[in-house]
Amino acid sequence: MSWENIVGHKFQKEYLQKTVASGKISHAYLFVGKEGIGKKLCALEFAKLLNCFSPGENGSCDQCKSCVSIDKGVHPDLLKLTPEGETLKIDQIREFNKWIHYKPLEARYRAGIIENITSMTEEAANCILKTLEEPPPKSIILLTSSDMRNLPRTLLSRCNVLYFAPLPARTIESFLVKNRSIASQKAFSVAQKAQGSIGKALQILEKEEEPYRLIENFFDGLSSISSLLSMGSKLLASKTNLQETLSLLELYLRDLLMYSRFREKELLYFTELEEKILKTIEGKEFDEKTVYNLIENIEQLNRDINSNVNQDVALIHFLLELKEVIQGAI
């Protein structure tokens, strides 16, 4: 991961590149900015560059022994600390302090990255402060935070603070188009809601894609009797998920009817599954009446689930009927 693989933050990347080239390395840096904009990636690339055997103008080489073992997460002189649950705890920081005081085994600099220090307890903050006040030689501490208002001033004064601005919507759009193969129009609409954060854009996308994934998983489960049985028991184990899946399935079946009548993509709920829908209605098992029956069966199944009667039998029976109808598509 050289600098060019990190989106945006031109000034910050140049600054860190020059810092390494100059050899004037501070013992601690604090990267501040919104969640999900690339602070952690920059901290990791900085640590890589510091220890790279063959650094270039654009960051680390990605090829040398040091780069490879950092990328694999197995370098003995790199430690990444993330909050356990909601907060960074004192015990975590104590362990970190111990670790950072050892001499580097292989690297020029032993690098410890602590993510989201905003979530540190007061005790933990005091504990890391001790190390920042008397930093061990040949070590570097890289901290990230999304909000520095509650951080102790003493801690801030011990770090070299670097601010990261939210990314422009257009930058996020091109990232999504390039890396997630999403149509430009959709990518831009997601980017506008993401408030400058790639992490948030990916979360929004995930949420929007959830129904599609759920339905696609459903089809995978229908591919054989054994996977059908295993899907059936999984669904039964999670009642909430079952009802959600069933209502999505009902929408999908209605899409089948709609498309078989009008062949209009705009009328579909699952527009992105148009191809699968077309394949299903062209399959030899497809029959509108059976699909209507299945929709009725879903409603019956929902009633059975709520009344706690014969859930597993009702579900498996339903799945078998469904398998018949969409056989052509899987």
Enumerate the β-bridge partners of residue 113: 80, 142
The tokens 């006040």 sit on which residue?
Answer: 133
Please tell me whether residue 64 binds Zn ion under the rule CB under 5 A.
yes
Rounded to the nearest 10°, the torsion over CA 50, 56, 60, 65 is -90
Closer Cβ to Zn ion, 73 or 85, answer by number: 73
Which structure tokens are listed for 205? 């996308």
Which structure tokens are listed for 239? 């009642």
3-state secondary structure of 102: coil
Closer Cβ to Zn ion, 64 or 229, answer by number: 64
Closer Cβ to Zn ion, 67 or 117, answer by number: 67
184-193 helix and 169-180 helix, angle to the nearest 10 degrees: 130
Please tell me whether residue 61 binds Zn ion under the rule CB under 5 A.
yes
Query: Contact region for Zn ion (CB under 5 A) — 61-69, 81-89, 104-112, 253-261?
Result: 61-69
* Angle of CA points 322, 327, 330, to nearest 5°: 110
Report how many residues bind Zn ion under the rule CB under 5 A.
Answer: 5
Please tell me whether residue 69 binds Zn ion under the rule CB under 5 A.
no
Please tell me whether residue 231 binds Zn ion under the rule CB under 5 A.
no
Please tell me whether residue 20 binds Zn ion under the rule CB under 5 A.
no
Closer Cβ to Zn ion, 59 or 211, answer by number: 59
Please tell me whether residue 79 binds Zn ion under the rule CB under 5 A.
no
Q: For residue 244, give Cα distances in angstroms to 136, 222, 240, 288.
A: 54, 17, 6, 23
Enumerate the β-bridge partners of residue 144: 31
- Taking the mean position of all CA atoms in its chain, how far away is CA 29? 25
List the x/- string, 23-52, binding to Zn ion by CB under 5 A.
-----------------------------x
Please tell me whether residue 60 binds Zn ion under the rule CB under 5 A.
yes
List the x/- string, 121-160, binding to Zn ion by CB under 5 A.
----------------------------------------
Query: Contact region for Zn ion (CB under 5 A) — 64-72, 165-173, 184-192, 280-288?
Result: 64-72
Rounded to the nearest 10°, the torsion over CA 234, 235, 237, 239 is 160
Closer Cβ to Zn ion, 111 or 248, answer by number: 111
307 CB-contact burial (10 Å; exposed 0-12 / middle 13-18 / buried 19+): exposed
Closer Cβ to Zn ion, 66 or 92, answer by number: 66
Binding residues for Zn ion (CB under 5 A): 52, 60-61, 64, 67
